[in-house]
Amino acid sequence: MHSTLPLYINGEFTPSKAERTIPVTNPATQLTLTNAPCATNQEVERAIGSAKAAFASWKETPSPERARLMLRYQQLLKEHHDELAEILSQETGKVFADAKGDVWRGIEVVEQACNISSLMMGETAENVARDIDTYSYIQPLGVCAGITPFNFPAMIPLWMFPLAIACGNTFVLKPSEQDPMTPMRLAELFDEAGFPKGLLQVVHGDKEQVDQIINHPDIKAISFVGSAHVGQHIYRTGTHNLKRVQCMTGAKNHMVVMPDANKQQVINHLVGASVGAAGQRCMAISVAVFVGESKAWIPEIKAAIANVKPGLWNDEDAGFGPVISPQAKSRILSLIEQGRKEGANCELDGSSFTLPEYPEGNWVGPTLFSGVTPDMTIYKEEIFGPVLLTMESESLENAVTLVNQNPYGNGTSIFTESGSAARYFQHNIEVGQVGINVPIPVPLPFFSFTGWKNSFYGDHHAYGKQGVRFYTETKTVTSRWFDEDALHGPNMTITLK
């Protein structure tokens, strides 16, 4: 009998009364680690109600006090960094180094949330008209919610609730049911940091619980990261219900390789960016576009990727771990087979890879295709596995056109020694996050995560200044103080005089 995770409601970790639970399994062994309860309607309602009640006093808490609590929280996260990474490795299958990176990128956002006093400063202008001043305040929204995916169970929750709470909001988190143990440990450390009760709520479940959250009238803003299909549903439902919504969804990220690039750097970075984390990154490079003579490097790319071996989380020689679930593995293998049927050259096939000691694991070996064209299914769909597609282009201009015609716009990169080529690329590419000799250009948290096109639905992006805007509203005050008892007649216009 495996334990069942509690819910975190009103500052207490309490067992759920749910009749239905979801097993949380180790992707390498299929052994059940724990169970996630599908919270009842009453429990979700209680969590939202608790968050709403806590907002009344939390919004009045001075921002320096909020920042001091966040400083304590980031210190606890650093103290428990490796512990969090080990929990994360067990439930996601990530190798330990990758898991530590997941945790650390989340801590960086918490560090930025510690600057909340300056981030929430408004603007002032004196004498906008005679004896009239105008100034603005930035104020919190209320109860916010986050729906997070399986692939970054530390980083993405930490993109959301620390910044929202630092802004003066309260927050309801519904983590992925596939790996909720890490988010629960984040909640335990949040509790230990001494925050008031009710600021953070954690409820578990699946679509039923998500729909209850996004339809609830007391939820003012929803942040989501996950599949395009689910993201579109959340965006349409949330905006229909007059909520502020931020949905980061699918991707098909290209790396353009120029013939003047440093070949060894291209090989090193492309291997890690494509099959690292088993390709389960929304910013993974899944398509490499070789321009001109650089196509001659494809055999060396193949050799380098072939040397990467999947393995257990604590195997220092393993390049990446298993994919998250048998269903994910089945989908990846189906797309690999579809690529063959549609005429792509499968240069390296990881479909049959297994780890003899753990044959039940969700193993997929590194896979490489050449001769890929834009009409193929493997190009049009996000594979989300350790699969790299290679394409060829006669010119940088054609490569840019290819990237721009893709419906996604999450991330892209160019490897080149030419400043002119890099300038042309960054200026003309229609993608939100661009790397120049950087394969996975995820911005540090004082900037914002800025996916474009079908990779994002909403108005304000995650973390950075746009994240603060997403979790706040601006109030503008126009003020005049009179020195005399009466006006010199009525002002019949809207002009400030």
Among all residues, which ones are annotated catalytic? Answer: 282
Angle, vertex CA 467, rays to CA 113 and CA 39, nearest 5: 85
Which candidate, 266, 259, 224, places its Cα nearest to that of 245?
A: 224
Task: Encode 243-274: b = buried (16+ Cβ within 10 Å), e = exposed.
Answer: bbbbbbbbbbbbbbbbbebebeebbebbbbbb
Q: Is the dihedral of CA 279, 280, 284, 285 positive or negative?
A: positive
How many Å apart are CA 56 and CA 108, to the nearest integer? 28
How many Å apart are CA 176 and CA 39, to the nearest integer? 13
The tokens describing 311, both together, are: 């393995």
Strand partners, 24: 34
Sequence-distant (≥ 6) Cβ neighbours of residue 221 within 8 angstroms? 141, 142, 144, 145, 164, 169, 243, 244, 245, 246, 470, 471
Can you tell me which residue has the tokens 């909720």?
Answer: 180
Q: Distances in Å between the alpha carbon of 147 and those of 50, 58, 172, 369, 425?
A: 18, 22, 9, 33, 34
Which candidate, 174, 7, 179, 1, places its Cα nearest to that of 90?
A: 179
